[in-house]
């Protein structure tokens, strides 16, 4: 059996009791280590589980999945995912591969940023399409997220923005030369995401009336949600440009229309706006 086990967001002990029972008995335990990060390291997990945990990077999961699946044909294999197993499409692909090989699987769910974002006070059923914001380079500035945010705001819906993670990435030069040399990990911050968001209307030559948002638009910055050090701040995009939310992981929400109860909750996290507006 292949078990896909969600670890939750904040602590090694956030794994479910059922998930922990599987981990302790499985022949192999893999930890997916590139779509998200846990606030504790692999050693803390191994101490809790009482066994070895094998780090599974993008190359292993996406190109060498048979290494994970081969034992699952006859033994129990645990595949651990920070958050919920289906928070990334990669894990859906792993399930498809297992089914193609007639390998039975079970999914043990857990909290992910997709539901834990409710901690800021914006109701989950008022969110539109989630977007991803990737690091720009000098000659590559994808901005399709803008259109989705604009569409959500036009419908009065909130937008959850998932921010880029660069783990075990190669430079173009090293990739072309076939050198297994990797760049240091990078995790996009709220301020970096907002900076890119505010650049898009300028790049598209949109005036203030045409743009879906500007620096006065209210937004929510979130960091390390689910951990004891989680932070939530609510303010203008301009204020979030200079607000340091500390270590990763960060997320951003661009609100749509807000119910008075949503506003009442959000203003508890206000950093630069008049709370009397509620």
Give the model's pLDDT for residue 59: 75
- Tell whether the model's pLDDT for residue 153 goes beyond 50: yes
- Tell whether the model's pLDDT for residue 235 goes beyond 60: yes
Give the model's pLDDT for residue 77: 96
Contact (CB, 8 A) for 215 and 240? no
Tell me the CATH class for 2-111: alpha beta
Query: Mean pLDDT over residues 4-25, rounded?
Result: 94
Question: In the predicted model, what is the mean pLDDT of the chain?
Answer: 90
Between residues 86 and 39, the one the model is more confident about: 86
Q: Is 163 annotated as a binding residue?
A: yes
Give the model's pLDDT for residue 277: 45
Q: Is 9 annotated as a binding residue?
A: yes
- Tell whether the model's pLDDT for residue 65 goes beyond 70: yes
Q: Is 226 left (phi over 0), alpha (psi -120 to 50) or beta?
A: left
Q: Is 43 annotated as a binding residue?
A: no
Between residues 111 and 171, the one the model is more confident about: 111
Query: Mean pLDDT over residues 217-223, rounded?
Result: 97
pLDDT band at 169 (very low <50, low <70, confident <90, very high): low
Quick: pLDDT tens for 174-209. 666 667 666 678 899 999 999 999 999 999 999 989
Q: Is 251 annotated as a binding residue?
A: no
Tell me the CATH class for 114-268: alpha beta
Q: Kindly report the three-state secondary structure assignment for every residue of the chain.
A: CEEEEECECCCHHHCCHHHHHHHHHCCEEEEECCCCCCCCCHHHHHHHHCCCCEEECHHHHHHCCHHHHHHHCCCCEEEEECECHHHCHHHHHHHHHHHHCCCCEEEECCCCHHHHHHHHCCCHHHECCCEEECCCECCECCCHHHHHHHHHHHCCCEEEEEECEECCCCCHHHHHCCCCCCCCCEECCHHHHHHHHHHHHHHCCCCCCCCCCCCCCEEEEEECCCCCCCEEEEEEHHHHHCCCCCCCCEEEEECCCCCHHHHHHHHHHECCCCHHHC
Give the model's pLDDT for residue 38: 77
Between residues 59 and 251, the one the model is more confident about: 251
Give the model's pLDDT for residue 174: 62
Contact (CB, 8 A) for 30 and 78? yes
Query: Mean pLDDT over residues 207-220, rounded?
Result: 95
Query: Mean pLDDT over residues 236-247, rounded?
Result: 95
What are the boundaries of each domain within the chain?
2-111, 114-268
Give the model's pLDDT for residue 278: 40
Q: What does the alpha-carbon distance between residue 273 and residue 278 come to, in Å, rounded to a whole number?
A: 11
Q: What does the alpha-carbon distance between residue 237 and residue 50 come to, in Å, rounded to a whole number?
A: 45
């Amino acid at each position: 059996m292949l078990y896909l086990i969600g670890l939750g967001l904040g602590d090694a002990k956030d794994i479910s009791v059922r998930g922990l029972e599987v981990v302790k008995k499985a022949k192999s335990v893999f930890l997916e280590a590139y779509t998200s990060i846990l606030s504790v390291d692999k050693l803390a997990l191994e101490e809790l589980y009482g066994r070895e945990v094998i780090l599974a990077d993008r190359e292993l999961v996406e190109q060498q999945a048979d290494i994970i699946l081969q034992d699952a044909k006859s033994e129990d294999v645990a595949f651990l995912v920070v958050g919920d197993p289906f928070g990334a499409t990669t894990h859906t692909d792993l399930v498809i591969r297992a089914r193609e090989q007639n390998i039975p699987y079970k999914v043990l769910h857990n909290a992910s940023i997709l539901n834990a974002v409710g901690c800021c006070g914006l109701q989950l059923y008022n969110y539109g399409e989630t977007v991803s914001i990737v690091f720009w380079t000098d000659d590559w500035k994808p901005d399709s997220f803008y259109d989705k945010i604009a569409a959500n705001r036009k419908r009065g819906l909130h937008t959850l923005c998932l921010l880029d993670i660069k783990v075990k990435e190669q430079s173009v030069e090293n990739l072309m030369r076939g050198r297994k040399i990797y760049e240091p990990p990078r995790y996009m911050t709220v301020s970096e995401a907002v900076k890119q968001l505010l650049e898009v209307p300028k790049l598209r030559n949109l005036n203030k009336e045409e743009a879906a948002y500007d620096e006065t638009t209210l937004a929510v910055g979130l960091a390390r949600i689910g951990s004891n050090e989680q932070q939530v701040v609510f303010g203008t995009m301009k204020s979030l440009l200079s607000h340091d939310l500390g270590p990763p992981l960060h997320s951003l929400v661009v609100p749509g229309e807000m119910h008075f109860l949503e506003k009442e909750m959000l203003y508890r996290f206000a950093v630069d706006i008049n709370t009397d507006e509620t």
